[in-house]
Amino acid sequence: MYTVSLPPIGEGIQEGEIVKWNVKPGDTVKKDDELVEVMTDKITVKIPSPVAGKIVKTLVSEGETAMIGDAILEIDSPDESNSPTGEKNVEPAPKQEVSINTDEKISNVKATPAVRAYARSKNVDLLKVKPSSPDGRITKEDIDSFTSQKPVEAPKPASVAHEGDEIITPTGIRKIIFDKMTKSKQIIPHFTITDFIDTNNIEKSIKQYAGKRYLSFTAFFVKAVSAAFKDFPKLNAVYNENNKTYTIKKTYNIGVAVDSPTGLTVVVVRDVASKSIFQISDEIKDMAERARTGKLQLQDVQGSTFSVTNIGSIGGIMATPIINYPEVAILEVNSRTSAFVNGELKQGLYLTLACDHRLIDGAEAARFLGRLKEVLEYPLLYIGD
Amino acid sequence: MDFDAAFIGSGAGGYYSALRLLKRKKKVLIIEKEKFGGECLNYGCIPSKALIELSEGIEYLKDMPGVSMNYSIDMKEWQKWKQSVVTRITGGAEKLCLSLGAKIVYGKGSIKDRNTVTVNGTDYSAENIIIDTGSVPVKINGIDDVYYNREILAMENIPEKLVIIGGGYIGIEMGTAFRKLGSDVYIVEMKDRILPEIEEDLAREVDKKLRKLGVKIMTGSRVQSVKKNGKYTVAIEGSESMEADTVLMSVGRVPNTADTGIEKLGIQMDGKFIHTDGHKRTSVPNIYAIGDVSGGPMLAHKAFYDGYVAAENILGNDTVVDYRALPFVVYTDPEIAFTGKSGAKYNKVPVLANPRSLTMNQKEGFFKIYYDDDGSITGAGVAAPRSSESITEISLAVESGLSIDDLFLTIHPHPTVSEGLKDAAERND
């Protein structure tokens, strides 16, 4: 018997939700056939089969979460078994199994026959009942407490649906956004600061290269942030909730929010300081395209240290962004508009910077934003190529 | 509707299921073409156990040092007694059904439509129909006039030379019994070992003992022909032909679906068996099939269990079969029993280490408990005196998810055979 464990998916990823099994008991698989789709807080990955063989049983149900290294599947494989065997008693097991085909799935949970019959009479799926005893045996009382708490799960007033109403239960990417946003707003005390920048020079630069080299508008902001970090390293940090510390990151990995069919995805331009604005433009374009077609790799979405969001391309002259937890700041690029600067009407846009006030004070944020303004209004001076 | 449920066949599954419904005030029709109680009660488990018990009693005394005896068996008298036992059981079941209001009709029942069964030209309507028509022995064209389970158990003499074709559990049980009663027994098996459907280490114990008793076992042997001319002549491929006064054919059983009318309704089949779902429903939802005819091991206690599940569903209690610990027993020497699932991890204790077995002058066999990584018992194989009785302890453990520690910590009386299971449950570390 070969036991498949949830393999390491990526740095810092400790668990994943089983989204969909592509195999079922009885199926025959080849090595590298896709077994299961696992969603982490970063990305959905497909786990290939490490061996060829016949699927015996899945150990984690769809919707459940498994830790990296947890056994998730058993495969009857001619390949060398990885299952622990006793020192004695290693005589190969002769087969003797009464196999009778029925189309009912019987769960293999620990419970006496009478308790199993009771669960069935109450229409309770034993797999969903948490045993109260440490040895994992489900009792009649466990079933009773499961059925009695069930109605409480749905708070009545909020979910009273009238005809035509639609109830949305966040799942998949939406669930990840749900959890992350809740965490960010619950844990991080945000404050927001706004300033107007003149974008005349950025537009000139883009025009200058039009038809020759692709230059993305967003890339200017990504590069500018990295230029400004040199004097404001605290803005490029991540928060560790476990020990309540911050880690100031030496590498600038800038997350860029992109819209994808499944919802908001943040792609990451790594080590921005070492890349030209053209490289950054190309990378953002490439990753945004792959986000739309569902072809992102794990390294495309993990490890960001600061984020830039540009909903200004759609609309809104001002917004208050939510920090991409566990980062400490986020820059919002708003819609192009005009404003009077020193009595003169200028074309440009408002930048909004949201910061974790526990680490960054208003004064520092204001200075950082000031530096960004300088960089962006005279981009060639700072960014070059 | 005339009835809530109509049973075709009153075998183990049928009458048991009928009783469950009758006790819950359902109107029940039972149709039986031969004898109430079916194959197990009349021609199988019950009479064979009576015969085996007799042979074991005699062998026990013959084998006991210091005991000498002269005995004779009047098989005609014995058959009368055996029949009285069978009648007591079948008659008891029939009377109980009648007293609870069942209508019992003798004749061949066949399904006319999904709510009608016909017997002796009369139609009866029923909400539910339960097919419990059992199985029949495999008969091979060209081999006629031999003994099958029914005939061998009705013998009024002990054969001098008995050739058994088929080393499955029926052949082996009968071979053991008649050898102990004095017959010269030959067992011809096509496969490379006897009891091919049973775990090899259990079968090996039986094979060893049979040879010790003087039974001639021919494995990997194929019978070419059986001719009867006063005596039987059995021709075996690649070996000399044998003469015998009795030949038992026990090469397996097939489901009995002849003339049941199921083909008219287009009921889905699994090969020769009637396909059923976990509720024991056929592809026509108000028609159920239970026992041998519905697939799986052909065992009376499986038929009982199927009958229970079908009855519960008819009563409106959603129930499905769960055969996680379906035991089987072969009444051989030593008696062998198995339940649950085998696996790579097990503890094994020999019968030689079991004091109670030694007082019975039994030295062959073992107690073997299979368990998984967290110690939960998954099954057991036992070759020991009365293993048919002790195996249930393991079935209960499997059904309830008990561990070997639970079994070990349960105080077993001393001296008993079942202590062997307790000893096999002790961890070695």
- What's the rounded Cα separation, in Å, for the pair B370 and B379? 5
Report residue B68 as tokens. Answer: 């000498």
The answer, yes or no, to whether residue B289 has pLDDT greater than 50, is yes
Average pLDDT over residues B126-132: 97
Give the confidence band of A10 by pLDDT, cuts at 50, 70, 90.
low
Q: Do A86 and B344 touch (CB under 8 A)?
A: yes
B75 pLDDT higher than 70? yes
| Pairwise pLDDT comparison (A16 vs B44), residue with the higher score | B44
Q: Which residue of the set A195, A357, A367, A374 is catalytic?
A: A357
Do both A55 and A5 map to the same domain?
yes
- How many A×B Cβ pairs under 8 Å? 84
Judgement on whether residues A375 and A265 belong to the same structural domain of the protein: yes
Q: State mean pLDDT over A142-153.
A: 76
Which chain B residues are Cβ-neighbours of A104 within 8 angstroms? 277-279, 320-321
Residues contacting B66, CB < 8 A, separation 6+: none
pLDDT number for residue A209:
85
Residues A203 and A69 in one domain: no
Total number of domains in chain A? 3
Give how far Cα A303 sits from Cα of A159, A295, B321, Å. 37, 18, 51
Of A293 and B107, more confident: B107
Chain centroid to Cα B223, Å, comes to: 25
**A89 within domain boundaries:** no
Residues A229 and A310 in one domain: yes
Residue A328 and residue A249 share a domain:
yes
Q: Which residue ranges make up each domain of chain B?
A: 3-137+254-314, 149-251, 334-424
Residue B202 has pLDDT above 80, yes or no: yes
Q: Higher confidence at residue A87 or residue A41? A: A41
Report yes or no: B51 and B82 within 8 Å, Cβ to Cβ. yes
Is residue A2 located within the same domain as residue A131? Answer: no
Pick the catalytic residue: B279, B301, B412, B414? B414
Q: For the domain B149-251, what is the CATH code?
A: 3.50.50.60
Model's pTM, two decimal places? 0.60
Closest approach of B172 to chain A, Cα-based (Å): 19
Same domain, A194 and A75: no
Average of per-residue pLDDT across B49-59: 97
User: Considering only A150-159, A294-303, B169-178, B371-380, which range has the smallest mean pLDDT?
Assistant: A150-159
Whether residues A94 and B201 touch (CB distance < 8 A) is answered with: yes
Confidence band, pLDDT 50/70/90 cuts, at residue B74: very high
Rounded CA-CA distance B333/B365 in Å is 9
**pLDDT band (50, 70, 90) for residue A51:** confident
Report pLDDT for A83. 44
Weakest mean pLDDT among A143-152, A155-164, B137-146, B365-374: A155-164
**Alpha-carbon distances of B425 from A276, B121, B372, B429, rounded to whole Å:** 70, 59, 12, 12
Segments forming the whole domain that contains residue A42: 1-80
Cβ contacts of A92 on chain B, cutoff 8 Å: 344
Given an 8 Å threshold on Cβ–Cβ distance, is B198 in contact with A96?
yes
Tokens 């049941």 appear where?
B260
pLDDT of residue B150: 95
B3-137+254-314: CATH number: 3.50.50.60
Best residue in A3, A76, A98 for a mutation probing chain B (most B CBs within 10 Å): A98
Query: Closest chain B residue to A106 measured between Cα atoms?
Result: B322
Interface test with A, best of B345, B391, B403 (most A CBs within 10 A): B345
Residue range A228-236: mean pLDDT, rounded: 92
Interface of A with B in 92-111 (CB under 8 A): 92-98, 100-104, 106, 108-111
Tell me the nearest-neighbour CA distance from B137 into chain A, angstroms.
Answer: 21
Q: If you average pLDDT over residues A188-200, what whole number do you get? A: 94
Nearest CB neighbour to B373, from listed A84, A88, A104: A84
Asked whether residue A210 is domain-assigned, the answer is yes
Q: State the DSSP string of B140-176.
A: -TT--S-B-HHHHTT-SS--SEEEEE--SHHHHHHHH
Mutate: best of B202, B273, B399, partner A, most A CBs <10 A: B399
Q: Identify which of B199, B276, B318 has the shortest CB distance to residue A96.
A: B199
Residue A164 lies in a domain: no
Domain B334-424 belongs in CATH node 3.20.20.120: no
Question: Residue A97 pLDDT more than 60?
Answer: no
Report the pLDDT value the prediction gives residue B255, as an integer from 0 to 100: 95
Q: Does A107 fall in a domain? A: no
Residue A375 shares a structural domain with residue A236: yes
Q: B162 pairs with which residues across the strands? A: B185, B246
Domain assignment present for A179? no
At residue A161, the pLDDT reads 63
Provide the percentage of residues in chain A whose pLDDT is more than 70. Answer: 85
At residue A341 the predicted structure's pLDDT band, cuts being 50, 70 and 90, is confident
Residues A111, B373: C-beta atoms closer than 8 Å? no
| A203 and A343 part of one domain | yes
The complex's ipTM works out to: 0.71
Residue contact B198–A98, C-beta within 8 A: no
Residues B394-413 have pLDDT tens digits of 999 999 999 999 999 999 99
Its sign, for the CA torsion B225, B135, B274, B165, is negative
Give the minimum alpha-carbon distance from B285 to chain A in angstroms, rounded to a whole number: 14
Put simply, whether A114 touches B (Cβ < 8 Å) is no
Of the listed ranges A290-294, A361-365, B217-221, B261-265, the one predicted with least confidence = A290-294
A202 & A319 share domain: yes
Predicted local confidence at residue B402, as pLDDT? 93
**Domain of residue A212, CATH code:** 3.30.559.10
The answer as to whether A180 is a domain residue is no
- A264 CB within 8 Å of a chain B CB: no
A142 and A193, same domain (yes or no): no
Active site includes B414?
Answer: yes
The amino acid that residue B385 corresponds to is P
Residues on chain A touching B338 (C-beta within 8 angstroms): 96
B279 Cβ under 8 Å from any chain A Cβ: yes
Interface contact A113-B270, CB threshold 8 A: no
Residue A265 lies in a domain: yes
Q: Note whether A291 and A372 are same-domain residues.
A: yes
Which positions ≥6 away from A28 have C-beta within 8 Å? Answer: A53, A54, A55
Is A75 part of any domain?
yes
Task: Closest CB to A94: pick one of B319, B342, B428.
Answer: B342
CATH (domain of A30):
2.40.50.100
Check if B149-251 and B334-424 are the same fold.
no
DSSP character string of A161-184? PPTT-------HHHHHHHHHHHHH
Q: What's the rounded Cα separation, in Å, for the pair A229 and A272?
A: 11
| B270 with A109: Cβ contact below 8 A | no
A117 and B CB contact within 8 Å? yes
